[in-house]
C-alpha cells in the first residue's frame, strides 16, 4: 500500500486515502477482515475436506470477493460455487475457471450467459429438477451446439427445489439421457432445508438418501460423466455430510464435493453456534474456525446517560441477529490498547445508526477502562456474513497491528 498516491488514484484502487492505519486513516464504518483468522480458516477447511476424501467448492455468494476466491483456490479448492448466472460470469471474469451453479438454470438470458462462459473455456455445472427445465436447456444448448453438464438435485418434501424422491431422480435421469446436449454429471443436494425434531438424525438420513440415489444412477449407467460428482453441504452440517460420504466409500465411483461458504470468515452468531455443535459432535477436530470479519464504526453521539449512538446501521451490517460489540479503541491509538465494552448491548439499528445501551459504570466520570467518548472506535462481530458482505464494495484486510495490507473488492 502506498500513501503517496494521489487521492484520485487511491480512490480508484480502493485504498485508504491518508494511510494504512485502521484506527487513524480509514474512513469508518468499514468492513474488516483479519488476516490471521482468515489464513487459519482457509487451511482448516481445506484440511478437513482432504481428510475426508472430499473436494472443496466454496460457495462464493457468501463474499463475491475475487481476492478471496483466489485465496481459496490457492489453498486447494476444486472450484467455486455460485448462486446465479451473473455471479458465475463475474467469477469467471476474475479468473475462476471451474464453476458450479448450485441452482436451476432458467431463462434464455441466463442460458446465454452460461453458453458464453462455456464457449470461453469454463468448466461449468448446474442443477436440474424438472423435465420442463431439461427440455428448455436441451433446446437452447442444442441450438448453440454446446453440451451442458448437469447435476440432478434431490430435495426434501416441504423444502425448496429438487426432486422429492429417488423415483423422480431416476425418471429425470432417463429424460436427460435422451438429450445429446446434456451431460448428466452426478447428483446435488442441500441439507440446510432438512428439518425435524432431531435435525442431526434427519441430516444423516438425507445424506444417505443422496448416496443411495447416486449409486442407483451409477448402477443403471445413467451418468455420462467419467468423473461424476456427489455434492452437498452448507456451513452448518458439513461434518455430517462429509462423514456419510466417507462412510459410504464413494471415492471410487464419485467425486465428493463439499460447498460451505461462510467458513472463510466465520462469524460471531449463527455459525459460531453451528461450529460449537460441530466440535461437540467431532471433538477430535481441534482449533475450530475463527471469526475473521468485523465492522468497525465510531461513536458519533452520547445524547443521554446510558446511550451511545454509533455510526453503523442496516446499510453496513447484517442484522438477522444483532451485531455484537467486541472491543473499543481510542481513535489513533498506536498501542492498540482495547477498552472494555463489557455490558454494552446493541438494541436497535436504523439505516445508518446503531443504538447501544451502556452499563452504569460507563456513565461515571471515569474508570480504569476509560469513559466512552465521541470518536471512540468500536469493533462489532456479525452474524451470517453473507448479509454483511453484500453491503460493501471494498473491505479492508488487516494484519495483527490493524494495518491495512489489502483493500479487497466485491462484485455483487
Cα separation values, 321 from 266, 359, 383, Å: 14, 21, 6
CA distances from 295 to 33, 292, 312, 360 (A): 9, 10, 8, 25
The CATH number of residue 358's host domain is 2.40.37.20
Check: CB of residue 194 under 8 Å from CB of residue 156. Answer: yes
Q: Following DSSP, what letter does each residue of 18-66 receive, concatenated? A: S-SBTTTTS-SSEEEEEHHHHHHHHHHHHHHHHHTT-EE--BGGGT--H
CA distance 60 to 68: 9
Same domain, 273 and 296: no
Q: What is the dihedral of CA 377, 382, 387, 393, to 10 degrees?
A: 30
Last residue in a domain, options 281, 310, 325: 281
- Domain range for residue 299? 7-33+289-409
- The secondary structure of residue 340, as a DSSP letter, is P
- Per residue of the chain (412 residues), give pLDDT as tens: 333 344 444 444 455 555 799 999 999 999 999 999 999 999 999 999 999 999 999 999 999 999 999 999 999 999 999 999 999 999 999 999 999 999 999 999 999 999 999 999 999 999 999 999 999 999 999 999 999 999 999 999 999 999 999 999 999 999 999 999 999 999 999 999 998 889 999 999 999 999 999 999 999 999 999 999 999 999 999 999 999 999 999 878 899 999 999 999 999 999 999 999 999 999 999 789 999 999 999 999 999 999 999 999 999 999 999 999 999 999 999 999 999 999 999 999 999 999 999 997 655 444 445 799 999 999 999 999 999 999 999 999 999 999 999 999 999 9
Domain with residue 72: its CATH number is: 3.20.20.10
Query: Is 1 inside a domain boundary?
Result: no
On whether residue 115 sits in a domain, the answer given is yes
Does 130 share its domain with 208? yes
Residue 324 shares a structural domain with residue 274: no
Same domain membership, residue 76 and residue 53: yes
SS3 content of the chain, % helix, strand, coil (to 5): 35, 25, 40
**Chain-centre distance for alpha carbon 35:** 17
Q: Are 60 and 97 within one domain?
A: yes
The answer to whether residue 72 is domain-embedded is yes
Q: Show the cell assigned to 252.
A: 471410487
CA distance 289 to 313: 27
Q: What burial letters (b/e) apply to 6-41, b meaning 16+ CB within 10 Å?
A: eeeebeeeebbeeebbbbebbebbbbbbbeebbebb
Please report whether residue 245 resides in a domain.
yes
Same domain, 82 and 228: yes
Residue 320, judged by CB atoms within 10 A of its CB (0-12, 13-18, 19+), counts as exposed
C-alpha grid cell, residue 375 = 470518536
Domain contains 233: yes
Domain co-membership, 396 together with 341: yes
Angle (CA) 243 249 255, round 5°: 85
155 and 246 part of one domain: yes
Domain boundary among 281, 308, 335: 281
Query: Using CA atoms, how far apart are residues 290 and 164, in angstroms rounded to an integer?
Result: 36
Distance CA 87, CA 74 (A): 20
Considering the domain architecture, whether residues 213 and 135 belong to the same structural domain is answered as yes
Specify the pairing of strand 307-310 against strand 293-304.
antiparallel
User: Does residue 390 fall inside a structural domain?
Assistant: yes
Residue 181 lies in a domain: yes
> Which pTM was predicted?
0.93
Residue 2 within a domain: no
What SS3 state is found at 172?
helix
Q: Are residues 309 and 226 in the same domain?
A: no
d(CA 280, CA 351): 38
| Domain boundary, last residue among 248, 281, 314 | 281
Same domain, 316 and 273: no
Total domain count for the chain? 2
Q: Are residues 266 and 163 in the same domain?
A: yes
Amino acid at each position: 500500500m502506498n500513501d503517496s498516491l494521489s487521492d484520485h488514484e487511491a480512490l480508484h484502487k480502493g485504498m485508504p486515502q491518508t494511510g494504512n492505519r485502521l484506527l487513524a486513516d480509514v474512513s469508518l464504518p468499514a468492513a474488516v477482515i483479519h488476516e490471521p483468522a482468515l489464513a487459519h480458516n482457509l487451511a482448516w477447511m481445506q484440511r478437513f475436506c482432504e481428510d475426508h476424501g472430499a473436494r472443496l467448492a466454496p460457495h462464493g455468494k457468501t463474499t463475491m470477493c475475487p481476492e478471496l476466491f483466489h485465496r481459496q483456490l490457492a489453498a486447494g479448492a476444486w472450484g467455486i460455487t455460485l448462486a446465479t448466472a451473473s455471479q458465475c460470469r463475474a467469477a469467471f471474469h476474475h479468473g475462476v475457471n471451474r464453476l458450479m451453479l448450485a441452482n436451476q438454470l432458467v431463462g434464455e438470458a441466463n442460458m446465454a450467459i452460461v453458453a458464453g462462459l462455456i464457449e470461453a473455456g469454463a468448466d461449468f455445472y448446474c442443477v436440474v429438477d424438472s423435465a420442463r427445465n431439461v427440455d428448455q436447456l436441451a433446446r437452447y444448448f442444442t441450438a448453440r451446439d454446446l453440451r451442458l453438464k448437469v447435476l440432478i438435485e434431490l430435495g426434501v418434501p416441504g423444502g425448496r427445489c429438487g426432486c422429492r424422491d429417488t423415483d423422480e431422480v431416476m425418471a429425470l435421469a432417463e429424460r436427460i439421457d435422451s438429450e445429446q446436449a446434456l451431460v448428466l454429471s452426478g447428483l446435488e443436494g442441500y441439507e440446510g432445508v432438512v428439518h425435524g425434531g432431531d435435525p442431526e438424525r434427519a441430516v444423516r438420513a438425507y445424506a444417505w438418501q443422496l448416496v443411495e440415489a447416486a449409486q442407483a444412477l451409477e448402477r443403471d449407467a445413467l451418468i455420462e460423466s467419467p468423473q461424476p460428482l456427489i455434492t452437498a453441504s452448507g456451513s452448518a452440517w458439513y461434518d455430517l455430510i462429509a462423514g456419510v460420504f466417507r462412510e459410504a466409500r464413494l471415492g471410487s465411483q464419485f467425486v465428493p464435493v463439499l460447498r460451505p461458504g461462510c467458513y472463510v470468515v466465520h462469524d460471531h452468531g449463527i455459525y459460531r453456534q453451528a461450529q460449537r455443535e460441530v466440535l461437540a459432535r467431532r471433538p477430535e477436530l481441534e482449533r475450530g474456525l475463527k471469526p475473521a470479519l468485523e465492522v468497525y464504526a465510531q461513536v458519533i453521539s452520547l445524547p443521554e446517560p446510558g446511550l451511545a449512538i454509533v455510526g453503523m446501521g442496516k446499510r453496513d451490517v447484517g442484522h438477522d441477529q444483532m451485531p455484537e460489540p467486541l472491543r473499543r479503541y481510542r481513535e489513533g491509538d498506536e498501542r492498540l490498547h482495547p477498552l472494555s465494552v463489557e455490558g454494552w448491548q446493541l438494541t436497535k439499528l436504523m439505516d445508518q445508526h446503531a443504538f447501544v445501551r451502556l452499563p452504569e459504570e460507563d456513565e461515571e466520570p471515569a474508570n480504569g477502562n476509560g469513559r466512552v467518548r465521541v470518536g471512540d472506535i468500536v469493533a462489532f462481530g456479525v452474524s451470517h456474513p453473507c448479509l454483511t458482505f453484500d453491503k460493501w464494495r471494498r473491505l479492508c484486510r488487516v494484519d495483527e497491528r490493524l494495518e491495512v495490507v489489502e483493500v479487497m473488492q466485491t462484485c455483487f
